[in-house]
Amino acid sequence: MNPKFFIDFHCHPALKPLGNSFNDNRITGRNNQNYKKNNSIFHQIKPNIFKKILNLISTLTKFTQTDLMTLAEGNVHVISASMYPIEKGFLNNRFKKGLITDTIGSLAMGVGKRRIGFIQDHNNYFKDLELEYEFYKEMDDKVVNIRNKKVRYKIVNDYYELEKALHSQNGIKTIYIVLSIEGLHALNTGLNAMNSKCNPEEVKSNVDKLKSWDHTVLYATVAHHFWNELCGHANSLSGFVDWITNQDYGLDKGITALGYEVIDKLLDQKNGNRILVDVKHMNYKSRKAYYQYLEDRHSKENIPIIVSHGALNGLKSHRSPINNNPIGRNFLTKEINFYDDEIVKIAKSNGLFCFQLDERRLIKETKKVPKSLTRRGMLKNRSRLLWNQIQHFVEILDRANLPEVWNNMAIGSDYDGIINPLSGFWTAKETESLYRNLVLHAQRYLMDPSCPLQEQNKIEATSAIDKIFRLNALQFLKRNLKSKVSNKML
């Protein structure tokens, strides 16, 4: 394996193949060993010119971005695979049930009409989560032969298990998977937005079930796109998908009493491994409440704050929404993105901020991105959108006189979620290209005499980008991905 492999801290490789398994009742929920079948996590659909144009126009992604073959081709050998029971809110839309809703849902998510029908009819998100977990387990550590190459994935529970495995692959291309969950509606809450009435005891029992799984769940994103009875969410959808859905209910709410109980159980280490809280998708009211909760309940522990796939809004704080840094003036200022004072909190907690590769989150107006007639120029311009976020991040920490300003960033692409990827960086296969372009941006910045960073933070450009694409995530896993066995022995 190339020693400079990459890590993606948030992606959805099972979303499409699991969805496609519903097309045939005989294989529903099955992960096919035959990579040519569309219910295989190894199945690759390449982005041709027509699919790219469709994505640019509509944000619909009709190609695979993090199937296991694409990850291997991009040298992305460690991922956090985010399990996500698709929310009914996407399908309880202005068209109600029927062919139009089924078709729209299938197009938007690439999961097939039968999967959409199942989501509309079921009444238990947790069982849907368990189905996805079983999908991952089915092919765990099994070797697949693809075009005369041996490929596999392995779910890991412990950093030292990962470290050992990375050094002994025996000629088999291996993707190492750390499990996570996006949206704690997965505990079976929020089945019907305004009219939802979950069973609190069932919800808390489901947390216990998560912690008894054979594999560790590293983190859980508490909120997602719709009200889940646990905390308020931030407005997250745009374009056509936003037009047909309604996210309004819950946008103004904070963390509920049940939400605090769930967070208590997630972080408790007496009932199994700690599951870290990911604050992405929370509205600011809920994020602020969570930060205060950590100060009140866990001040001696310094529990890391994680943003698994986010972007910055360039504003000083929610209370003082002004821009003090020119590089951040074109950032998207919506509440789903993070304020400067939150960056400082994350760094002080020894947490991790993972940048997502969604153009709509990185810049206010994508139309203002400079155009280029060459591919090289396009890649330079599009990668600069991510670089600007990175530069803003380190400058904010540098001004706060924090040490090691490069140590709290990573990549959480959100590939195979509902995103509009950076043009030219369509899938995980282009990760190495993105890495190289960011090294060039970092070189120009760090070698510029006007670079505002303190001397100790002017590190070598390749070292800086290595931290973001691999080393910081590895260090975070070393601190936080603990063996289930060792925890039980303590």
pLDDT at 357: 98
Six token digits for residue 93:
């839309």
pLDDT at 486: 42
Euclidean distance between CA atoms 150 and 142, whole angstroms = 10
Please write the tens of the pLDDT for every residue from 423-459: 999 999 999 999 999 999 999 999 999 999 999 999 9
Please write the tens of the pLDDT for every residue from 100-149: 455 555 455 678 889 999 999 999 999 999 999 999 999 999 999 998 89
Phi, psi of 18 (to 5 degrees): -60, -45
Euclidean distance between CA atoms 273 and 206, whole angstroms = 14
Please write the tens of the pLDDT for every residue from 78-112: 999 999 999 999 887 665 554 445 555 545 567 88
Least trusted range by pLDDT, from 459-463, 466-470, 479-483: 479-483
Euclidean distance between CA atoms 276 and 254, whole angstroms = 19
pLDDT at 109: 63
**C-beta separation of 221 from 182 below 8 A:** yes
**C-beta separation of 435 from 462 below 8 A:** no
Please write the tens of the pLDDT for every residue from 362-396: 999 888 898 898 999 999 999 999 999 999 999 99
Please write the tens of the pLDDT for every residue from 176-203: 999 999 999 999 999 987 787 999 999 9
Averaged pLDDT, 244-251? 91
Least trusted range by pLDDT, from 171-175, 259-263, 447-451, 455-459: 171-175
Six token digits for residue 370:
């400079």
Euclidean distance between CA atoms 469 and 5, whole angstroms = 8
| Strand 144-146 relative to strand 149-155, pairing | antiparallel
Location of structure tokens 């809450």: 189
Please write the tens of the pLDDT for every residue from 283-321: 999 999 999 999 999 999 999 999 999 999 999 999 999
- Report the predicted TM-score, pTM, of the whole model to 2 decimal places: 0.95
Give the CA dihedral 293, 295, 296, 301, nearest 10 degrees.
100
Six token digits for residue 425:
């960086």
Fold of 6-489: TIM Barrel (3.20.20)
- Helices 99-109 and 113-121 pack at an angle, to 10 degrees, of 110
**C-beta separation of 404 from 352 below 8 A:** no
Give the CA dihedral 418, 357, 16, 225, nearest 10 degrees.
-30
Which residues, in sequence order, are CB contacts of 373 under 8 Å at separation 6+?
Answer: none
